[in-house]
Amino acid sequence: MGKEKQNEQHFSTPRQTAPAAASPKKTATAGVWEERWHPLREEWVIIAAHRQDRPWSGNKVQHAQNDLPDYVADCYLCPGNTRISGAQNPDYKQTFVFNNDHPSVALNAPEHIEPPCGIYRNQPAHGIARVVCYSPKHNLSLAELDMPDIVTLLRVWREQYCELGKRPDISHVLIFENRGEVVGVSNPHPHCQIYATNFVFKTIETEARVSRRHLEDTGRPLFKDILSAEKNDGRRLICENDSVIAFVPYFARYAYELFVAPKETHPSLAALSDTELRDFAEVLQHVLIKFDNLWRIPFPYVMTLHQTPTDGGDYRGFHFHAEFHPPLRKPDLLKYLAGPEIGGGNFLSDTSPEQKARELRAQSIVHYKHAKKERS
């Protein structure tokens, strides 16, 4: 009964706050309620931030421990350990790349597959799936790596993109990190994955298509126009240096969604200068530390690098960037994908991108674990 009453109260607030959303110069955006166009995906996002405090009695989210050892004997990613395939990890000192023992795509996936009926199509699941360990230390997340080590990791990502992308049987190289149990990762040893596939992933395909069209229509890369809009507004910027910028996009689908991008248009990491690569590492590090500091937990997210496909297509106007899609709205509150997202295909966000950006911007760029050490 009490809950129903609360619901009624919550639904009465938007009428009071809706006018604020209509005037973009206002800074108070907590109650924003409107639809925003996502220019890279060509779809609407419903922002219904007036609902963010609606009562919730779902499952509580479990977080990874804060105090992990730097080596775990039964971790299949720690140096020297034996993996499930029987392969033994080398005694690696920095990054370590290996072919995934349980690949979703592989060069030895069945070549001869049963032809389907009628209008259906299929093709072999050919590709290469790899794992990249960021560090030999089991407890050293990307946020806690030193700057030179992040630069080294960016170089490894670049090498992998170039090496795999060069292959005639690979159309696209997706580099991504799933972090945290809430996105299905049970092993906290910091690592990312690479799916080099014989097709182009849907989001990249859409971004490539709309970016090329925008360039043809306006003479400008779409992402540069997005960056101008973000700079002009300013409320969603998180941090920047000379050549790289991080922001919560206007059209964020997740509460703490965040993009990191070079200011100049480059098709992939491979095209960044050494200075831009260092700048990218710096902004990446600051963003990751802010994420962790927000609730003083290893902040879960899905991170993907959006780079041009490698199938030889026309990808003029494509602007390399990294996207973070954190699944949590609050420390113990998961954004569930339900009717609108799964059933209808458009996102409904219960939070205001401006307010979430303000929370992230306010965070220190000293990791809370280090701050703790300095104090003691």
Judged by CB under 5 A, which of 138, 236, 263, 356 binds Zn ion?
138
Q: CB-wise, 181 or 332, nearer to Zn ion? A: 181
Q: Around 258, how many Cα atoms within 13 Å sit in the side-chain half-sphere?
A: 30
For residues 204 and 258, give the distance between their C-alpha atoms in angstroms, rounded to a whole number. 17
Are 94 and 136 spatial neighbours (Cβ–Cβ below 8 Å)?
Answer: yes
Is 107 or 183 the residue whose CB approaches Zn ion more closely?
183
Kindly list the strands in the beta sheet with 244-247, ordered across the sheet, starting from the edge strand earlier in the chain: 96-99, 127-133, 191-197, 172-179, 301-306, 321-325, 258-262, 244-247, 237-240
Least separation in angstroms between residue 311's CB and Zn ion is 18
Given a contact cutoff of 8 angstroms between Cβ atoms, the answer to whether 200 and 165 are in contact is: no
Instruction: Tell me if 324 sits within 8 A of 318, measured CB to CB.
Output: no
Minimum distance of Zn ion from residue 268's CB (angstroms): 12
- Our CB check for Zn ion shows the closer of 29 and 308 to be 308
Whole-number minimum distance, CB 50 to Zn ion, in Å?
A: 28
Of 298-337, which residues contact Zn ion (CB under 5 A)? 306, 323
Candidate list 78, 328, 348, 360; residue touching Zn ion; CB under 5 A: 78
- The answer to whether the beta carbons of residues 45 and 346 sit under 8 Å apart is yes
Beta carbon of residue 215, minimum distance to Zn ion (angstroms, whole number) = 16
In 3D space, the residue among 326, 306, 325 whose CA is nearest the CA of residue 317 turns out to be: 306
- Among 17-25, 45-53, 72-80, 116-124, which window interacts with Zn ion (CB under 5 A)? 72-80
Dihedral pair phi/psi, residue 341, rounded to 5°: -80, -55
Closer residue to Zn ion (CB): 75 or 125:
75
Q: Which CB, 50 or 137, lies closer to Zn ion?
A: 137
For residue 26, give the amino acid letter: K
Query: How many residues are present in the chain?
Result: 376
Would residue 319 show up in a list of annotated catalytic residues for this protein? no
Among the listed ranges 133-141, 224-232, 326-334, 367-375, the one in contact with Zn ion (CB under 5 A) is: 133-141
Catalytic residue among 138, 191, 214, 286: 191
Site for Zn ion in 243-282 (CB under 5 A): none
Selected binder of Zn ion within 126, 189, 191, 212 (CB under 5 A): 189
Residue in 75, 107, 237, 270 binding Zn ion, rule: CB under 5 A: 75
Closest approach of Zn ion to the CB of residue 323, in Å: 5
Member of 77, 174, 272, 294 binding Zn ion (CB under 5 A): 77
Q: Pick left, alpha or beta for residue 216 (phi over 0 → left; psi -120 to 50 → alpha; otherwise beta).
A: alpha
Q: How many residues bind Zn ion (CB under 5 A)?
A: 8
Which of these ranges, 153-161, 164-172, 184-192, 243-251, lies near Zn ion under the rule CB under 5 A? Answer: 184-192
SS3 232: helix
CA distance 247 to 250: 9
What type of residue sits at position 212? R
Least Å distance between CB 222 and Zn ion?
10
- Give the residue with the Cβ less far from Zn ion, 18 or 75: 75
> Which single residue is written with the structure tokens 């993996």?
83
Task: Just list the catalytic residues.
Answer: 191
Q: Footprint of Zn ion on this chain (CB under 5 A)?
A: 72, 75, 77-78, 138, 189, 306, 323
